């Protein structure tokens, strides 16, 4: 018989999180001893009278507390499933069964009392003529619905009733029914829930392993059980019991962190679907396999996200953290350039001055505004670096249209601009990434074994070219996560223009773990539509996303002017003080100048606040920030304030005749609203001023 092993369940972590801190320490110490030898004579197993499942025992942690342990009949893995005061632990243990599902082969925990109640209710109900589902038993079972709960599922008539079964059903069964209730096909549901994923562990040479150990390791069981094979890992897992993402992943999340991909891979998902979580897990998994001199680069578009990721990875990883570098893309490019001396990046004013130089002897008939726009599109969005590439570059849909001769003139103007900027001793960001690409491409050995990219929707083709230069084309070279709806800086860029070829390696994340379904649906309905032109030339279309928890509908507030808005918001914040800690409330506006009135309103009411500017991380009191600044963050309550005409959407500053640019501008503003709204976990308020006329931003759009 092999050495006994330890696993923990997500409910054990929940229970641990509820214990006083001093007690948690004791549990951690106990868990270590238990892991070392679950059969040790020093472990005090106690059998419980009248238990529903006789494989369950309690074990003594101290005089007061007990852990609940499952030792499956045929397996060799002991599972810590609960911890509590003696009496409560006994009650919990008495009332649970652990069953391997006959179809999915996953290990499920059922609350006997709740199951009996649901079944009894179903038994008293009359024939269900308005059934929510009309599938046969075999189909239900294939979704992991426990056989005992089939009658209760058959009696459901509405999504609200389904929500009431959430805590009774295993997670995969509930998720399947939610998708089914949304009208998804059986095959789609199986795919979304991860029921079609290969059970790798079952297929390997584990035939001799007992059924219950196999069940524990199955894809669906990994939502709630995790085997822990070292003390280090145990410490890491138990030190942050509230942060379940560290341990329990959705089968698709798990697949994306562990699978090897033949080349660059793209993961798409809406806000809050765990893209950053997956990217961090993957970085760690890859780092664990590297030799000491190899590195993973984890890069983001914004500085703040890079800082967050760095600080989370530091606590999430062990020694492998040394092999992961986290830097936002421009900081990383600058570090290449600084190896050969100081670098100055051109400001907007510097760039304008250089274009003024071009205007003095303009080789084209085009205004410098048009040239400037064309330069950015060509160099940043399309990643073009040579005249020949530009002459061949398709500009379909762009205005004004240009003949080949005119394009040659435009390129001459670009050269004049580049020269003017060079003489100023400064570099544009495109210049920074292009120079950094050249340096890294000529480096003696490849710099990174793997590069992981978060916020992929905001990178330009010149950024992608730089990223491509950092890692040799090979399996698992590039892993990119992105949400096209959160693109707020530039127009869409094709990865292929940055020499990154995704082929069919596109995956999606569909469960929103952050936001209630009410907020998710509201925000999605008001964001720009997804288009297949974003990121890669593939036929992926709208990605269904759902949140599995509910909350209040977003609240719209209307105010006559900014003064009354700022007073009302200060009062609102005060009224929320029993519901949310102040640090969990964010007031978000479109532009920094809007914060002035809000700050004075808060001061008048004596409400403490922190303004999140470029460098400030979340501080004490209510958080105040712009929509751009809250990207990547989350709060329990978000108040989007100051939506007024000429403030949101901001004024279009492009050329009047350029309808395409105008549409892009509106889409970017819509995306900003989406970003801001999806920072809210529980509650969203949206406040308008002066009879906000752009109501299509708040009431329009489809909800999906």
Annotated binding site for ATP: 269-276
Q: Nearest-CA neighbor of 271 among 701, 633, 663?
A: 633
Alpha helices in 512-626 (DSSP H): 517-525, 562-575, 595-604
Q: Which two tokens stand for residue 249?
A: 């992943």
Taking the least distance from each CB to ligand ATP, the nearer of 437 and 678 is 678
Q: Min. distance of Cβ 681 from ligand ATP in angstroms? A: 8
Task: Return the SS3 of 622.
Answer: strand
Q: What is the 3-state secondary structure (H, E, C) of 537-564?
A: CCCCCCCCCEECCCCCCCEEEEECCHHH
Q: Which of residues 508-537 bind ligand ATP (CB under 6 A)?
A: 513-514
Query: Is there a contact between 510 and 297 (Cβ–Cβ < 8 Å)?
Result: no
Q: Min. distance of Cβ 171 from ligand ATP in angstroms? A: 10
C-alpha neighbours within 13 Å on the C-beta side of residue 514: 28
Task: Please state whether the peptide bond connecting residue 649 to the residue before it is cis, i.e. omega within 30 degrees of 0.
Answer: yes
Based on the shown chain and the rule CB under 6 A, indicate whether residue 253 belongs to the binding site for ligand ATP: yes
Query: Is there a contact between 79 and 226 (Cβ–Cβ < 8 Å)?
Result: no
Q: Min. distance of Cβ 300 from ligand ATP in angstroms? A: 10
Q: Min. distance of Cβ 223 from ligand ATP in angstroms? A: 8
Query: Is there a contact between 627 and 676 (Cβ–Cβ < 8 Å)?
Result: yes
Based on the shown chain and the rule CB under 6 A, indicate whether residue 241 belongs to the binding site for ligand ATP: no
Query: Is there a contact between 662 and 668 (Cβ–Cβ < 8 Å)?
Result: no
Q: Which two tokens stand for residue 591?
A: 């532009």
Q: Nearest-CA neighbor of 445 among 291, 280, 260?
A: 291
Taking the least distance from each CB to ligand ATP, the nearer of 469 and 671 is 671
Residues 6+ apart with CB under 8 A from 581: 636
The neighbouring-strand residues paired with 686 are 556, 640
Site mask for ligand ATP (CB under 6 A), range 614-643, x = bound: ------------------x-x---------
How many C-beta neighbours within 10 Å does residue 75 have?
Answer: 23
Strand bridging mode 77-85 / 96-100: unpaired
Q: Nearest-CA neighbor of 347 among 462, 425, 437?
A: 425
Listing DSSP states for 37-98 in one string gives: -TT-TTS-EE--TT-S-TTEEEEESSSSEEEEEE--SS-SEEEEEEEEEHHHHHHHHHTEEE
Sign of CA dihedral 523, 529, 534, 537: positive
Q: Which of residues 432-491 bind ligand ATP (CB under 6 A)?
A: 483, 486
Cα end-to-end span (Å), the chain: 52
What DSSP character marks residue 651?
A: P
Q: Which of residues 256-315 bind ligand ATP (CB under 6 A)?
A: 269, 271-277
Residue indicated by tokens 């059934």: 131
Q: Which two tokens stand for residue 564?
A: 């009354």
C-alpha–C-alpha distance, residues 641 and 52, integer Å: 53
The neighbouring-strand residues paired with 556 are 686
Residues 6+ apart with CB under 8 A from 433: 329, 330, 333, 460, 462, 463, 465, 466
C-alpha–C-alpha distance, residues 532 and 538, integer Å: 6
Phi-psi category of 118—alpha, beta or left, where left has phi over 0 and alpha has psi -120 to 50?
A: alpha
What residues form the annotated binding site? 269-276
Choose the stretch contacting ligand ATP; rule: CB under 6 A; options: 113-121, 165-173, 242-250, 566-574: 242-250
C-alpha–C-alpha distance, residues 548 and 517, integer Å: 7
CA distances 286 to 188, 267, 555, Å, are: 30, 17, 43
Query: Is there a contact between 81 and 88 (Cβ–Cβ < 8 Å)?
Result: no
Strand bridging mode 680-689 / 635-643: parallel
Alpha helices in 424-549 (DSSP H): 429-441, 461-470, 517-525
Task: Return the SS3 of 350.
Answer: helix
Taking the least distance from each CB to ligand ATP, the nearer of 275 and 487 is 275
Choose the stretch contacting ligand ATP; rule: CB under 6 A; options: 57-65, 66-74, 96-104, 244-252: 244-252
Q: Which two tokens stand for residue 112?
A: 């006997």
Backbone angles phi, psi at 167, to 5 degrees: -80, -10
Choose the stretch contacting ligand ATP; rule: CB under 6 A; options: 138-146, 240-248, 393-401, 493-501: 240-248
C-alpha–C-alpha distance, residues 425 and 346, integer Å: 9
Q: Min. distance of Cβ 338 from ligand ATP in angstroms? A: 30
CA distances 470 to 252, 333, 488, Å, are: 28, 10, 25
C-alpha–C-alpha distance, residues 450 and 479, integer Å: 8
- List residues binding ligand ATP (CB under 6 A): 244-245, 248-250, 253, 269, 271-277, 483, 486, 513-514, 632, 634, 678
């Amino acid at each position: 018989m092999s050495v006994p092993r330890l696993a923990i369940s997500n409910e054990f972590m929940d229970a641990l999180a509820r214990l006083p801190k001093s007690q948690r320490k004791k549990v951690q110490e106990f868990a270590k001893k238990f892991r070392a030898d679950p059969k040790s004579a020093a472990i005090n197993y106690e059998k419980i009278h009248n238990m529903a499942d006789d494989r369950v025992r309690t074990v003594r942690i101290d005089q007061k507390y007990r852990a609940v342990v499952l030792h499956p009949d045929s397996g060799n893995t002991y599972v810590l499933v609960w911890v509590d005061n003696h009496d409560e632990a006994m009650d919990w243990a008495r009332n649970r069964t652990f069953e391997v599902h006959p179809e999915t082969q996953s290990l499920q925990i059922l609350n006997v009392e709740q199951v009996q109640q649901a079944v009894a209710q179903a038994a008293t109900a009359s024939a269900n003529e308005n059934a929510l589902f009309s599938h046969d038993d075999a189909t239900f079972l294939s979704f992991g619905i426990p056989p005992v709960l089939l009658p209760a599922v058959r009696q459901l008539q509405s999504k609200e009733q389904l929500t009431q079964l959430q805590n009774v059903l295993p997670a995969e069964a509930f998720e399947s029914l939610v998708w089914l209730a949304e009208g998804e096909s059986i095959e789609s549901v199986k795919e979304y829930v991860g029921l079609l994923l290969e059970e790798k562990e079952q297929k390997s040479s584990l035939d001799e392993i007992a059924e219950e150990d196999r069940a524990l390791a199955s894809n669906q069981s990994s939502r709630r059980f995790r085997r822990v094979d070292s003390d280090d890992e145990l410490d890491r897992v138990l030190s942050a019991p509230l942060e379940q993402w560290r341990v329990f992943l959705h089968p698709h999340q798990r697949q994306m962190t562990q699978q090897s991909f033949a080349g660059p891979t793209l993961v798409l998902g809406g806000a809050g679907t765990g893209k950053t979580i997956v990217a961090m897990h993957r970085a760690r998994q890859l780092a664990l396999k590297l030799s000491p001199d190899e590195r993973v680069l984890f890069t983001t578009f914004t500085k703040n996200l890079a800082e967050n990721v760095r600080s989370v990875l530091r606590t999430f990883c062990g020694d492998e953290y040394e092999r992961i570098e986290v830097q936002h893309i421009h900081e990383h490019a600058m570090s290449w350039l600084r190896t050969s001396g100081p670098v100055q990046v051109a400001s907007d004013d510097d760039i304008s001055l250089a274009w003024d130089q071009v205007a003095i002897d303009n080789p084209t008939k085009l205004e410098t505004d048009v040239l400037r726009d064309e330069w950015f599109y060509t160099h940043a969005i399309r990643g073009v670096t040579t005249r020949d590439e530009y002459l061949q570059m398709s500009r379909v849909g762009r205005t004004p249209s240009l003949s080949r001769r005119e394009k040659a003139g435009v390129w001459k103007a670009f050269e004049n601009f580049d020269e003017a900027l060079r003489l100023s001793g400064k570099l544009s960001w495109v210049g920074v990434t292009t120079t950094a690409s050249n340096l890294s491409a000529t480096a003696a050995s490849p710099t990174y074994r793997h590069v992981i990219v978060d916020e992929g929707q905001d990178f330009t083709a010149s950024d992608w070219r730089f990223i491509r230069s950092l890692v040799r084309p090979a399996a698992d070279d590039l892993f990119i996560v992105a949400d096209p709806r959160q693109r707020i800086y530039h127009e869409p860029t094709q990865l292929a223009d940055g020499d990154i070829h995704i082929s069919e390696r596109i995956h999606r994340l569909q469960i929103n773990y952050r936001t209630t379904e009410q907020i998710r649906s509201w925000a999605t309905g008001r964001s720009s539509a997804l288009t297949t032109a974003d990121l890669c030339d593939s036929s992926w279309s709208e990605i269904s996303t759902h949140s599995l928890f509910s909350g209040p509908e977003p609240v719209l507030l209307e105010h006559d002017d900014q003064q009354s808005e700022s007073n009302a918001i200060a009062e609102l914040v005060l009224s929320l003080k029993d519901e949310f800690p102040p640090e969990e409330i964010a007031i978000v506006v479109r532009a920094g100048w809007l914060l002035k009135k809000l700050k004075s309103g808060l001061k008048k009411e004596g409400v403490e606040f922190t303004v999140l500017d470029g460098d400030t991380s979340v501080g004490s009191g209510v958080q105040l920030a712009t929509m751009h600044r809250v990207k990547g963050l989350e709060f329990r309550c978000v108040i989007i304030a100051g939506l007024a005409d000429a403030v949101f959407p901001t004024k279009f500053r492009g050329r009047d005749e350029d309808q395409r640019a105008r549409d892009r501008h509106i889409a970017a503003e819509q995306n900003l609203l989406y970003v801001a709204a999806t920072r809210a976990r529980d509650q969203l308020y949206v406040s308008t001023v002066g009879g906000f006329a752009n109501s299509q931003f708040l009431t329009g759009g489809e909800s999906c």
